Amino acid sequence: MKARFQLLIKGAGVCLLSLFLIQNQNYGQSTYGQISGWVLEQKKGAPIPAANVVVSGTVFGAASNDRGYFVISHLDPGTYRVICSAIGFKKQTKVIQVDAGQITEVTFRLQQTVIPMNQFVVTASKYRQDVNEIPVTIDIITTHDLVKRNAVTIDQVLKHVPGVQAVGNNISIRGSSGFTWGVGSRILVLLDGMPFLTGDTGSITLDALPTAQIQQVEVMKGAGSALYGSNAMGGVVNIITRTPSSGKSSLRVRSYTGFYDQPSYPQWRWSSRRRHFEGLTVDCLTNFLNVSSIISFNLKSDMSFKENADFRKWNVAGIFRFSLTPNNYWNVISGYLKSDDGSFIFWRDCNHALRVGNEPEDIFTRTYTTYFYLYPVMTQILSSRFFYRLRLRFTRAHSEDHAHARPGYHPQLLGIYRQSTADTYGGELQFNYQYSPETNIVFGFDGHKNDVSSIQYGYHRLGRFSVYFQNEKELFHGFKLTTGFRWDWEWGSDIATMSQFNPK
């Protein structure tokens, strides 16, 4: 099975290189069309700046300038559905014919409304769609929500989404997972469409993602295994990062601090110290050598009001964007987290509700974690209807559980008693093709390998390779037919090769 996997990877690499060379050889020789026009108010005819004009089902789009003017170039001849939206205005959709070597002019006249602007999502079908046109339930956490709630971590906002329970790095959607500890989850967490789970326990490390680098979080409720695999049986949480701007450089520094009040009941008071928390965030947006970037540094410390629930964490993360050709661009996401956490899982009893109950009387556990991730993403536009996206990923998660003696005790078990290091290598090659304004086809390959070394269980290796296909067609207004499948193969050092077919 390993040899077959390597052969598939080599074949996909040859096809990818061939597509890249053919496209760049033909670039400049093909004749494209162009859409340009104006975005105006319906009544007064005043220009609307910063309106979004998107070619549905493609990666093409533009924003109107101060005069309401926009231009979308490099479109192949054909018929397209173009969507125009702006904050405070009703969305408008037009079907536009583009001819070779011609500029098609169009004017959007938007009607004012108190209803918020329609949002776009990519999680439902792996391509950009209006949230009102998708066949599944999705809630969206926007940048405004993160700022309004003064969120330091993503879970602080996820717990306010209806049907979602978030306790630290544990997420459950509609009760699909419950509370799990070290045994994975039925909720698939993605970072720009790529799995963001550790290779050993399948846990989620939300602390490694600075909120300043998040554009929106899409929470898909319901099974998504036909497109994302068995890890998405309970739902999908897709974290979409911001696109670095090529404008002026900027620096933002934010800090916070606070104190915990004493518990209401005297028997719950386990510490005489004033418990406090604090944090520091530094965000730098810059553009150097045609590479746009967002670099963030975060430092967090919390003494907690519960025994052995305190933590100290710091992380640095960056998003880098650059283009090699007009039809090829890269996004590189990387970060590093280091943390020192207590281990409060459940309370002792009703009279000691804030004392840790999952630890013996003579020791307490500290967990030391380091986490590194690197996610390069390359998008190659072959035509205005056809593009592919190569996503690569590497993560390393290392954790150690240390036993420390409580004051006045001399236990025999001290030092490291649990340790695990997990390396994950993976990649995905996704193709998007818009056959017509009503038909979108998505297909691709996904594979990864986990190497896990643990002092309890030794060395283990697990691999997975997947093929998926989806065809979505709008039969008539308000009615879509979606068909597809996903086929997964899995093998490991201690398990027999198995496969699973998920139709849709």
Of all residues in the chain, what percent carry a pLDDT higher than 90?
A: 34
Highest mean pLDDT among 67-71, 133-137, 247-251: 67-71
Q: Answer yes or no: is 78 within a domain.
A: yes
pLDDT at 452: 92
pLDDT at 39: 93
Q: Answer yes or no: is 42 within a domain.
A: yes
Q: Answer yes or no: is 146 within a domain.
A: no
Q: Answer yes or no: is 143 within a domain.
A: no
Of all residues in the chain, what percent carry a pLDDT higher than 70?
A: 89
pLDDT at 421: 94
Res. 30 pLDDT band, cuts 50 70 90: low
pLDDT at 430: 93
Are residues 411 and 362 in contact, defined by beta-carbon separation less than 8 angstroms? yes
Containing structural domain, residue 78: 33-118
Q: Answer yes or no: is 186 within a domain.
A: no
Q: Answer yes or no: is 133 within a domain.
A: no
Domain count for the chain: 1
What does the DSSP 8-state code read for residue 152? S
Neighbouring CB atoms inside 10 A of 237's CB total 28
**pLDDT greater than 60 at residue 115:** no
**pLDDT greater than 80 at residue 371:** yes
pLDDT at 6: 53
The per-residue pLDDT for range 308-339, each reduced to its tens digit, is 999 999 999 999 999 888 888 899 999 999 99
pLDDT at 75: 87
Q: Answer yes or no: is 1 within a domain.
A: no
Report the predicted TM-score, pTM, of the whole model to 2 decimal places: 0.80
Calculate mean pLDDT across residues 31-44.
Answer: 89
Structure tokens that stand for 247 in this block:
């404008």
Query: Which residues lie closer than 8 Å to 168 by C-beta, 6 or more apart?
Result: 155
Torsion, Cα 186 189 190 191, to 10 degrees, reads: -160
Structure tokens that stand for 449 in this block:
């390998």
Mean pLDDT, all residues of the chain: 84
First to last CA, the chain: 26
**pLDDT greater than 90 at residue 61:** no
The per-residue pLDDT for range 259-299, each reduced to its tens digit, is 999 898 989 999 888 999 999 999 998 888 888 999 999 99
Q: Which residues pair with 47 in a beta bridge?
A: 40
Task: Identify the CATH number of the domain in which residue 96 sits.
Answer: 2.60.40.1120
Neighbouring CB atoms inside 10 A of 144's CB total 10
Three-state secondary structure string covering 417-444: EEEEEEEEEEEEEEEEEEEECCEEEEEE
Are residues 179 and 172 in contact, defined by beta-carbon separation less than 8 angstroms? yes
Structure tokens that stand for 364 in this block:
């307490």
Calculate mean pLDDT across residues 236-241.
Answer: 87
Three-state secondary structure string covering 311-332: EEEEEEEEEEEEEEECCEEEEE
The per-residue pLDDT for range 399-412, each reduced to its tens digit, is 999 998 887 777 77
